[in-house]
Amino acid sequence: MLHVECDMRVVQTTLSEEEHKLLEEYARSRSKSIKEVVREAVRSVVEGEVMAGDPIFSRPPASKNTGRRDNGSVEHDRYLYGDNQ
């Protein structure tokens, strides 16, 4: 993973002895610092993975109108994926 230095913020937290030991062993087994491992963990949890094949990222808008739908919060899956899903 490429990490580019930029404006960084310090974040402090507390871990149990067991959590710290697990983190330390994990980092050591990968020849990384605890900081690197924590940054990677945060990114993987917060950013997650984008499913490139998901139609929401590849299909044009379902409506050429304003896009406003009164029942969008209930019918969003049907609007995004169609009736076949």
Domain of residue 34, residue span: 15-60+74-80
Does residue 31 lie within any of the structural domains?
yes
**Cβ proximity of 37 and 23 under 8 Å:** yes
Q: Give, in degrees to the nearest 5, the angle at Cα 35 between 34 and 40.
A: 100
Residues 17-52: tens digit of each pLDDT? 999 999 999 999 999 999 999 999 888 877 766 666
Question: Rounded to whole angstroms, how far apart are CA atoms 67 and 61?
Answer: 8
pLDDT for the residue 17: 95
The pLDDT of 9-24, averaged and rounded, is 92
pLDDT for the residue 66: 60
Does residue 5 lie within any of the structural domains?
no
**Cβ proximity of 55 and 80 under 8 Å:** yes
Q: How many domains does the chain have?
A: 1
